[in-house]
């Protein structure tokens, strides 16, 4: 059971990469979701429900993983990047249902990836609040969820300005 939990919280071992495991996890998530949405044509609502379920499972799984560790937000835990990166992509897909230009989709996916990494690394408030004040699975997950919601806010602002 511990091996399954390890694979889950490290996103099948991506978290064990020596350099920038969070960025790799975000990139793999972006590519995976592009494949699900734009190649296999999965429903955005179903994927979003799946991400919400993964969020709740993550709260429990990350707690188990970090319980005996001094560092309560270890680099190898990257399931939070999966959830955080998935939020803007799922909401983009929900807002843009139907046939889309692939080059435009790829551009937005790239922008969402870059923005998410910027917000996750720079940790503007309230991302930093959760990162500093909650030394548990809730803090691990919420800072990435806030970073994902910042990406959504930037994209909504962009779409309002350009429409």
How long is the chain? 163
pLDDT tens column, 88-139: 999 999 998 877 899 999 999 999 999 999 999 999 998 899 988 998 999 9
User: Quick one: DSSP state of residue 37?
Assistant: I
Q: Dihedral sign for Cα 141, 90, 124, 23, please.
A: positive
pTM comes to 0.94
pLDDT tens column, 136-149: 999 999 999 999 99
CB 148, CB 87: distance < 8 Å: yes
Q: What angle do CA 123, 16, 143 make, to 5 degrees?
A: 20
């Amino acid at each position: 059971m511990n091996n399954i939990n390890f694979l889950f919280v490290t996103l099948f071992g991506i978290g064990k990469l020596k350099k920038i495991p969070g960025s790799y996890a975000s990139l793999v998530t972006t590519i995976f979701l592009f494949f699900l949405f734009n190649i296999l044509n999965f429903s955005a609502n179903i994927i979003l429900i799946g991400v919400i379920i993964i969020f709740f499972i993550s709260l429990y799984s990350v707690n188990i993983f970090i319980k005996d560790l001094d560092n309560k937000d270890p680099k190898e835990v990257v399931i939070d990047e999966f959830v955080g990166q998935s939020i803007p992509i799922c909401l983009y897909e929900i807002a843009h249902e139907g046939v889309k230009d692939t080059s435009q989709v790829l551009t937005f996916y790239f922008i969402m990836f870059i923005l998410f990494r910027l917000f996750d690394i720079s940790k503007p408030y309230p991302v930093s609040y959760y990162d500093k004040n909650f030394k548990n699975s809730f803090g691990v997950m919420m800072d990435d969820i806030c970073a994902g919601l910042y990406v959504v806010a930037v994209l909504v602002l962009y779409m309002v300005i350009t429409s």
